[in-house]
Structure 1
Amino acid sequence: MGHAELQTRRYTPEEYLALEEKSEVRHEYFDGKIFAMAGASAPHNLIKGNMIAALRPGARQRGCRVFDENMRLAVQEKKYYTYPDIMVSCDPDDRRDPYLIRQPVLIVEVLSPSTSEYDRTEKFKQYQKLPSLRHYLLVSQNAWVVEWFRRDDAGQWIYTLLSEPADVLEIPDLGLGLPLAELYDDTDVAPLRVTPSAL
């Protein structure tokens, strides 16, 4: 989802949280700056809904909960707060605060033209600081493409690209087996077409 900077002045974390309680528009916060979150497209919403529906059964069986973009994430307490499109948390401590998640195991961002580079670079760099995070998914809304970053037991991030129509996103530790065809169901988004270059 896109965002735009609200003002050039710096806000304290306390000012940001107080403003957010009263605001009808959600804002991300990074190091004193506030960014308004823009609206999302129909494909964005449908992809997000399909992903949440696929995640919920396996997550629930494992005592985890699935959250959408209305739940705030404390990436760095008092410094960086975001609203990921989807999060899964399995940490009991995350049940104590009705407005804030601190220990997600999975984060999903459905890419928008205005934020795709930010989601892929700076935002991912910040998300990697979350010790609990094991899976980061970047989902295209222009073609059937999912970029999956998975942290292994050694703390290294492993990259997997899913772009074939028959590909299935399988995350056993969350009980997820999601074919790309189901992720993009009813979205009018077409599979990725690769045109061979002329010889």
Structure 2
Amino acid sequence: MFVSKNNFYISPEEYLEGERVSPIKHEYRRGHVYAMTGAKKPHIVISVNLASLLNNHLRESSCLVLSSDIKVRLEEANCYYYPDVAVTCDERDTSTTEDFILYPSLVVEVLSPSTAAFDRGDKFVDYQTASSLQEYVLITQSEIKIECFRLNAEGNWVSQTYRQGDELELMSIDFRCPIAQVYQKVPGIIL
């Protein structure tokens, strides 16, 4: 979540150096750094639920399921973002100790009122520069609604919306589950 923006340019190297010692997380977009605020309980519960489900599903594979503490580096867009959940199956990410990944196949953002427009717009455009990305997922925390954007065989992003009673499908990792499992124990959501 963005709360402040500096007014001067810093390099990606300066950003990474500062981020390694900062007590709070910041995202980086084209030379500008944005402080992130803490998430509310529904946001955290949804993220943990989905990360747990994905990790169980992929436990016998070489893929990594990563939480909001890992950055995704988008070289072409000159950005570093902290998605709520990311999956990478690329050996270049799974065999390194870097504090960021370069080749996500799946990125998940849990929408907050203050970030929803950015997550749907400019951030999605930035993520599309990652040639490895196959699915971009937006999860609404105030109602049961998950939007999945998939890259099809023609190279176009197509969307599918899942609602209460649906089975969520993430084709990039051959995953399916009832949508209710993603929203289990989320305050304010009636399943």
- Using structure 1 for the length normalisation, give the TM-score: 0.90
In structure 1, the partner of 2:86 is 87
Structure 2 residue identity aligned to 1:39: G
In structure 2, the partner of 1:147 is 147
Q: Describe the superposition over 1:18-52 as per-residue Cα deviations: whole angstroms up to 9, x where unpaired.
A: 11111011110111100001100000000001000
The 5-angstrom pairing of residues 45-194 of structure 1 reads 45-76=44-75, 79-95=78-94, 96-163=96-163, 165-190=164-189
Structure 2 residue identity aligned to 1:146: I
Alpha-carbon offset, residue 181 of structure 1? 1.0
Residue 30 in 1 paired to residue 32 in 2?
Answer: no
- Single out whichever of 54-63 and 23-32 deviates more from structure 2: 54-63
Alpha-carbon offset, residue 180 of structure 1? 1.5
Q: 1:159–1:78: structure 2 CA closer, same or farther, 3 Å change rule?
A: closer
SS at 2:72 equivalent: strand
1:76 and 1:4 mapped to 2: Cα distance?
24
- Using structure 2 for the length normalisation, give the TM-score: 0.94
2:130 and 2:170 mapped to 1: Cα distance?
19
In structure 2, the partner of 1:197 is none
Q: 1:22–1:102: structure 2 CA closer, same or farther, 3 Å change rule?
A: same
SS at 2:49 equivalent: helix
Alpha-carbon offset, residue 158 of structure 1? 1.4
Structure 2 residue identity aligned to 1:160: Q
* Contact 1:25–1:36 (Cα < 8 Å) also in 2: yes
2:32 and 2:5 mapped to 1: Cα distance?
8
Provide runs of 4+ in structure 1 moved above 3 Å: none
**Max Rg structure:** 1
Task: Tell me the number of residue pairs that the alignment of Structure 1 and Structure 2 aligns.
Answer: 190
SS at 1:61 equivalent: coil
In structure 1, stretches of 5+ residues that fail to align are 193-199
Query: What is the RMSD computed on CA atoms of the aligned residues?
Result: 1.6
